[in-house]
Amino acid sequence: MNTEHVISLLRDLVAIPSVNPKCNSDPSISGETRIADFLMDWGHVHNIPCRRFEAEKDRPCVLFTLGTDREDAPVLLYSVHADTVWSPGMERPFELKEKNGFLAGLGTVDDKGPMTAALLAMSILKTMNLSCRLHLLCSCDEEVGYAGINYMVPDHVKPDFAVILEGTSLDVITAHKGAVRYKISTRGEAAHSSLVPQGKNAIYPMSALISATEKHASGLLLRDKHPLLGPPTLNLGTIRGGAQVNSVPDFCEFMLDRRMLPGETPEQVAKELRAVYDRCGTEYKMEGPTFYSPPFETVAGSPWSHSVLKQVKAHFPGSSIHGVLYATEAARVAEFNIPTVVFGPGSISTAHSPNENIDPNQIVTAIACLVSIAADCGR
């Protein structure tokens, strides 16, 4: 597979807006319907069986299937996501641009570059006699809620092994942090700012909670470090309060993002946070989780992760096993004791940014790796 094929398909995919509606609700660019239509047509043209599933209203997933019909054959899942975030500062986001040997555009790394690799690998694998049953899932809603992977696994596909495709710079990822988010709020009584004694300022008591948050966040960094992921972290990401400068504010609230290590639970995190805030001596309300994505870890020494690494190193000798700090669909799949790794072309360091870009040579290498992984599965 050469770079011309890669560039052609990636250009087509980038040109199809598929922004997650929770990132930008503009109907002209949001949702996965358009890209699902393209994928179904692509499957029919390439004679690869495919089915469409509606995870939610107007939130489709597409599932391609190849390989043996043997009942005792292992089932392998490749999973990419069709949605992207929205990057307001990106120039011509739906146009693939070549810059200094790299390909730039919205989703080139996350996740249309990996999708390009997976689709072109499927076009090669359809000509081979596989010993496994291979599914390629193009899921919806990865960027915000995981509705696609939650709907599909395990009710519509339950694999024996899985590779979640994300930009890992061709490293094999066996662990990542989870994320859980909470809203903390205080309430007061509104009044005109010339009549301060008649009101109750909701921002002042919040200062104690903010200081306690900062202290707790610093303490988390001193905890025992995971060998691949480091310590847990806590970030106060947004804060808002009051309606205007000449009114006593009757509310203040902030949002917390807690990055969790494998083994931690939202219940444990919430209990710790409440203990921290209860010591502040001020009234507050804690709501959530408003979002939860579980941490992920493959069992140490997993035969699957080493099998994948062996196949990848045959094409990219510099690959190694790592952990990452961002979250993926891997946690959902691994929840059902399915050996799972994360792998793919491109560096996550440029994702979700105006300069998102990918090396097309990494996509070419990823194609070869995905062909080898599937060809080896079940032998």
Residue 270 sits in a domain whose CATH number is 3.30.70.360
36/113 same-domain check:
yes
Nearest Cα to Cα of residue 182 among 75, 243, 260: 260
In this prediction, residue 300 carries a pLDDT of 66
Tell me which residues of the chain have a pLDDT lower than 70. 300
Q: Dihedrals φ, ψ of 344, to 5°?
A: 165, 170
Cα–Cα distance, 367 to 222 (Å, whole number): 41
For residue 63, give Cα distances in angstroms to 12, 54, 81, 139.
19, 11, 11, 8
Q: Which residue has the tokens 């948050």?
A: 213
185/37 same-domain check:
no
14/117 same-domain check:
yes
Which of 244, 264, 293 is the last residue before a domain boundary?
293
265/361 same-domain check:
no
203/129 same-domain check:
no
In this prediction, residue 270 carries a pLDDT of 98
What CATH code is carried by the domain that includes residue 31? 3.40.630.10
In this prediction, residue 222 carries a pLDDT of 97
145/21 same-domain check:
yes
273/167 same-domain check:
no
Q: Which residues contact 26 (CB under 8 A, 6 or more apart)?
A: 19
In this prediction, residue 1 carries a pLDDT of 73
Q: Dihedrals φ, ψ of 183, to 5°?
A: -110, 130
Which of 293, 322, 356 is the last residue before a domain boundary?
293
Q: How does strand 172-176 pair with strand 296-297?
A: antiparallel
31/133 same-domain check:
yes
Domain with 214 in it? 178-293
Q: How many domains does the chain have?
A: 2
**Planar angle of CA 112, 113, 115, nearest 5 degrees:** 60
265/347 same-domain check:
no
315/255 same-domain check:
no
Question: What type of residue is 129?
Answer: N
The conformation of residue 73, written as its DSSP 8-state character, comes to S
71/127 same-domain check:
yes
Which of 242, 268, 293 is the last residue before a domain boundary?
293
SS3 content of the chain, % helix, strand, coil (to 5): 30, 30, 40
Please provide the size of the chain in residues: 379
Helix (H, G, I), strand (E, B), or coil: what is residue 42?
A: helix
46/103 same-domain check:
yes
In this prediction, residue 145 carries a pLDDT of 87
In this prediction, residue 379 carries a pLDDT of 86
In this prediction, residue 337 carries a pLDDT of 93
In this prediction the pTM is: 0.90
